[in-house]
């Protein structure tokens, strides 16, 4: 099996995996999406999470992480693209050439030899699809020509399985979106409950303080009326009483109840950042 080396920078691979779904990009490289994911992990290149492309297609805001530094400080990598063969191949352990012995990590692990047997294969089935036949090939007692009918039926079965898998993924994404929305709604309700509880507690505290201040004013006035103070002394005491009365009115939420209630019901009218 012939192969072509593609040399990329980590930045190039990073841009590719965030621009094209892994399954499609892997096919361009002649490898599986699992294999491409291993390459990305090896070179510390982040890949889109499950559901990323669906969220992007449906208009959800998606973000991607920054490209971290390389684990081994190597910014270049090689991907070997193997030519896809339509014939069945046998694999043998690759014997290093003198040139490859100097850089054994870049040499292929196996050599492939054509057997002359033809093969039909369904290669785009997602992983974990269950017992669905994917391959029909020449054998000792069967020819590939005799498998065409079964292969066509297999295509129908595979197409149905792919559609079912796609539907299940869409339903799962929808459930996740609904769960996230429910969690967000519950969080907002909890925050609003906390805000209202703190607001009412503050109103009660201010009201109790206003009541206490007015009790103090009455005590001052009763003491003044029962004592033989001079006019100047009475004037000073009255200044204290008048200021305290104004302060009590400013604290008392009952003095301007509609405004206090409006802030409770419509906080955005008071705090513009809530709009």
**pLDDT tens profile 82-93:** 544 345 555 667
Residue among 140, 126, 210 nearest 168 (CA): 126
Structure-model confidence comparison of residues 27 and 205, the more confident one: 205
Count the helix, strand and coil residues of the chain and give each as a percent rounded to the nearest 5. 60, 15, 30
CA–CA separation, 181 and 148 (whole Å): 49
Q: Per-residue b/e over 228-237, b at no fewer than 16 CB within 10 Å?
A: eeeeeeeeeb
pLDDT digits (tens, 9 = 90+) for 246-259: 999 999 999 888 88
Q: What value does the mean pLDDT of the chain take?
A: 81
Residue recorded with tokens 């050599």 = 111
User: Whole-prediction pTM value?
Assistant: 0.42
What six digits make up the tokens of 134? 């994917």
pLDDT of residue 84: 45
Judged against a pLDDT cut of 70, whether residue 231 lies above it is answered with yes
pLDDT of residue 270: 59
Task: Enter the DSSP assignment of 64.
Answer: -
What mean pLDDT do residues 179-189 have? Answer: 91
Judged against a pLDDT cut of 70, whether residue 269 lies above it is answered with no
R_g (Cα) of the chain, nearest Å = 38
Domain limits of the chain?
1-84, 90-118, 122-275
pLDDT band at 72 (very low <50, low <70, confident <90, very high): confident
Residue among 50, 90, 43 nearest 68 (CA): 43
């Amino acid at each position: 099996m012939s192969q072509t080396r593609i040399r990329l920078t980590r930045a190039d691979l990073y841009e590719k995996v965030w621009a094209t779904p892994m399954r499609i990009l892997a096919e361009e490289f002649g490898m599986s999406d699992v294999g491409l994911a291993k390459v990305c992990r090896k070179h510390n290149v982040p890949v889109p999470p499950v559901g990323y492309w669906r969220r992007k297609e449906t208009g959800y805001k998606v973000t991607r992480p920054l490209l971290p530094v390389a684990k081994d400080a190597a910014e270049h990598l090689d991907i070997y693209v193997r030519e896809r063969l339509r014939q069945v191949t046998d694999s043998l352990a690759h014997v290093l050439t003198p040139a490859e012995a100097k850089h054994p990590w870049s040499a292929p692990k196996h050599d492939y030899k054509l057997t002359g047997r033809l093969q039909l294969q369904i290669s785009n089935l997602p992983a974990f699809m269950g017992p669905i036949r994917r391959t029909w090939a020449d054998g000792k007692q069967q020819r590939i020509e005799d498998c065409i009918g079964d292969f066509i039926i297999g295509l129908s079965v595979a197409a149905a399985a792919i559609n079912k898998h796609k539907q299940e993924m869409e339903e799962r994404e929808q459930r996740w979106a609904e769960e996230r929305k429910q969690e967000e709604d519950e969080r907002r309700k909890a925050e609003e409950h906390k805000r209202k509880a703190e607001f009412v507690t503050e109103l009660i505290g201010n009201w109790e303080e206003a009541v206490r201040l007015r009790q103090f004013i009455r005590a001052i006035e009763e003491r003044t009326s029962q004592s033989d103070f001079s006019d100047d002394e009475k004037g000073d005491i009255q200044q204290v009483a008048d200021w305290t009365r104004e302060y009590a009115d400013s604290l008392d939420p009952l003095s301007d109840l509609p405004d206090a209630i409006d802030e409770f019901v419509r906080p955005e009218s008071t705090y513009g950042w809530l709009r």
